[in-house]
Amino acid sequence: MSEQIPEEKPKTMLGRMRERLVPEGLPSDDRGRMRLVVGNLILHLHPTKVNERTLKWTYSWGLGGLSAVLMMILGLTGAILLNNYTPAAPQAYRDILELRSNVWFGELVRNLHHWSANLLVVIAVLHLIRVFVTGAYRPPRETNWLIGVAMLLLILASNFTGYLLPWDQLAYWAITVGTSIISYVPFIGEGLTRLVLGGPEVGAKTLLNFYSLHISFIPLIIFGLMSFHFWRVRKDGGLTVPKGVDETEEVKTERVTTIPHLVRKEFIFAIGWVAAILVFSMFIPAPLEGIADPNISPNPAKAPWYFLGLQELLLHFHPLVAGIFLPTIAMLGIFLLPFFDINQTSVGVYFRSRRGRSLTLLALGLAIILTPAWVLLDEFLLDWSAWLPTWSNLLSNGLIPLAVVALPIILMDDWAKKHLRADIEERVLFIAVFLFTAFAILTVIGIFFRGPGMILYWPWAIPTVTH
Ligand code: HEM
């Protein structure tokens, strides 16, 4: 009897190629191989194992991951928006109108892009705060801190350049006010403003400049830095390990595999956020006013919301102090932080110590009381230039009020050191929380409590007028 040979299935060309390409030992079915590829990709981003404690939501709050999710949404929606946009005035504005009414899901894509961009500013700042209050910027993570600060500045630049693109009144005047701050840079201010605007004022060239920065240069650098940032988190041994306030020794904890423990959490978190942003964007449209008109300025004319703290400072101090000196000092302080605050024992402890926690609460309370009090005092009572008419404006309106504001901060620091025996890291925390909260309050005042003529007002009392 002749032996029956099992009939071989006729192979397609694809099947034969697959057989040749898949090395022995790899899963032969498609699902198995897909799993392997995805797993490999994940393990390029993450280490194979992570410390169990770092998986706690209440430590990192997933803020870095959420920033990454938002960057992905921005990249995707931005690429779609590109197809329906011409960077020329007034066509740019017409394109946005067209996008909203005649392009399939055009309005939704625009809303998604708009809200994600604004949320990214908030989330990246919260991520920075989390890293700061847990001391996670200290060596060996100082490089990642510096990369993070650079990314935050680029996120602001990306938001700012994108703000102009709809070419409506809101965009035109916010960018006009925002860029006016550049002109205060000593010696090169005028030239620098012309360079950024492509002329003496916001116009067609500014739109083209901002467009090219917004769609190529800035996102390219951000995505490049993001990859480096992720790689550094891995290289620095993963996230800092959270510690209780009384745990002074090195914590020994379990390590668990990244797949599935971390990846499952990240996946649920990302899906949840994408769904929330999607629903929000379905119901809340991104603002769009009438077409940009250089002859009609809204009153008040305000910079984009994230620069309103700075605009508020400009109402109280000489432009050189508010627009140049204070931002430079703040940036220097943030950049240099990991080089003078290097205590390792409190890394991973929220607010450093018990005393640190009390000082944080105190700084919050003081900033909430003192900042509005200063704004009111300066608005209605203090008149330095009238009191010191012969003094230069930089002194009477800049350095003197600055000294008056700096004095209580120096006294508070001295009091924390002498009476509470706060060490250097607790004092850094105390002052930073105070200054940051004060700036956040100035931003809120700038957004909600400045009306026509930039006078203080109740937002529900006077409507915005144009002239
Ligand atoms: C596009 C913006 C950013 C993205 C996508 C991003 C992403 C991430 C991710 C995924 C992590 C690990 C998980 C976590 O801590 O949530 C991380 C950690 C870290 N990030 Fe960022 N980040 C961004 C901006 C920043 C900023 C603005 C800073 C600070 C200036 C910063 C400094 C750090 C540091 C020092 C770590 C390590 C924290 C630790 O070990 O506890 N990052 N970042």
Question: Peptide bond preceding 219: is omega within 30 degrees of 0, i.e. cis?
Answer: no
Amino acid present at 315: L
* pLDDT value of residue 459: 86
Q: How far is CA 74 from the centre of its chain?
A: 13
Token digits for 451? Answer: 């009306």
Separation of alpha carbons 360 and 434, rounded Å: 8
Amino acid present at 197: L
- Closest by CA to 137, choosing from 376, 418, 415, 342, is 342
Q: Which atom of ligand 1 is nearest to the CA of 141?
A: 35
Radius of gyration, CA atoms only, the chain: 27
Q: Taking a C-beta distance cutoff of 8 angstroms, is the pair 206, 182 a contact? A: no
The neighbour count for residue 418, using CB atoms within 10 Å, is 9
Tell me if 127 CB under 6 Å of ligand 1. Answer: yes
Q: Tell me the CA–centroid distance for residue 74 and ligand 1, in Å.
A: 18
Cα angle, residue 93 at apex, residues 91 and 94 outer, rounded to 5°: 65
Tell me if 226 CB under 6 Å of ligand 1. Answer: yes
Separation of alpha carbons 96 and 103, rounded Å: 10
pLDDT in tens, the chain (467 residues): 445 555 555 567 666 666 665 556 666 677 887 888 888 888 888 888 999 999 999 999 999 999 999 999 999 999 999 999 999 999 999 999 999 999 999 999 999 999 999 999 999 999 999 999 999 999 999 999 999 999 999 999 999 999 999 999 999 999 999 999 888 888 898 999 999 999 999 999 999 999 999 999 999 999 999 999 999 999 999 999 999 988 766 667 789 999 899 999 999 999 999 999 999 999 999 999 999 999 999 999 999 999 999 999 999 999 999 999 999 999 999 999 999 888 888 999 999 999 999 999 999 999 999 999 999 999 999 998 899 999 999 999 999 999 999 999 999 999 999 999 999 999 999 999 999 999 999 999 999 999 999 999 998 875 555 44
Question: Peptide bond preceding 90: is omega within 30 degrees of 0, i.e. cis?
Answer: yes
Q: Is residue 20 within a helix (H) or strand (E), and if so which, with residue range?
A: helix 13-21
Q: Which atom of ligand 1 is nearest to the CA of 155?
A: 1
Q: Is residue 310 within a helix (H) or strand (E), and if so which, with residue range?
A: helix 308-316
Q: Which atom of ligand 1 is nearest to the CA of 348?
A: 41
All structural domains of the chain with their residue ranges: 43-298+308-338, 351-467
Put residue 185 in one of left, alpha, beta given phi > 0 → left and psi -120 to 50 → alpha.
Answer: beta
Cα angle, residue 360 at apex, residues 358 and 365 outer, rounded to 5°: 95
Alpha helices, DSSP H only, in 165-297?
A: 169-180, 189-197, 204-212, 218-235, 263-283
Provide CB contacts within 8 A for 414, sequence distance 6+.
none
Token digits for 337? Answer: 């932080």
> Tokens 């700061």, residue?
132
* pLDDT value of residue 460: 83
Which CA distances in Å does 167 have to 210, 248, 417?
11, 55, 52
Q: How far is CA 385 from the centre of its chain?
A: 37
Tell me if 148 CB under 6 Å of ligand 1. Answer: yes
Separation of alpha carbons 188 and 444, rounded Å: 31
**From atom 9 of ligand 1, which residue's Cα is the shortest distance away?**
64
Q: Taking a C-beta distance cutoff of 8 angstroms, is the pair 50, 42 a contact? A: no
Q: Which fold has domain 43-298+308-338?
A: Cytochrome Bc1 Complex; Chain C (1.20.810)
pTM assigned to the model: 0.91
- Closest by CA to 326, choosing from 435, 427, 240, is 435
> Tokens 């005393």, residue?
355
* pLDDT value of residue 251: 64
Q: Tell me the CA–centroid distance for residue 196 and ligand 1, in Å.
A: 30
Token digits for 211? Answer: 């467009």
- Closest by CA to 348, choosing from 237, 230, 234, is 237
Q: Taking a C-beta distance cutoff of 8 angstroms, is the pair 244, 345 a contact? A: no
The neighbour count for residue 195, using CB atoms within 10 Å, is 12
Separation of alpha carbons 286 and 304, rounded Å: 14
- Closest by CA to 174, choosing from 185, 158, 160, 184, is 160
Q: Tell me the CA–centroid distance for residue 268 and ligand 1, in Å.
A: 19
Q: Tell me the CA–centroid distance for residue 108 and ligand 1, in Å.
A: 29
Q: Tell me the CA–centroid distance for residue 344 and ligand 1, in Å.
A: 19
Token digits for 151? Answer: 């990314």
* pLDDT value of residue 250: 65
Handedness of CA 111, 117, 121, 123 (dihedral sign): positive
Cα angle, residue 318 at apex, residues 306 and 151 outer, rounded to 5°: 30
Handedness of CA 339, 344, 349, 354 (dihedral sign): negative
Q: Tell me the CA–centroid distance for residue 117 and ligand 1, in Å.
A: 17
Tell me if 219 CB under 6 Å of ligand 1. Answer: no
Token digits for 317? Answer: 């101090």
Could you please report the per-residue DSSP string of 230-242? HHHHHHTTSSPPP
* pLDDT value of residue 41: 80
To test the pocket of ligand 1, the residue of 54, 116, 127 to mutate (highest count of ligand atoms within 8 Å of its CB) is 127
Q: Which atom of ligand 1 is nearest to the CA of 71?
A: 1
**From atom 17 of ligand 1, which residue's Cα is the shortest distance away?**
64
Tell me if 151 CB under 6 Å of ligand 1. Answer: yes
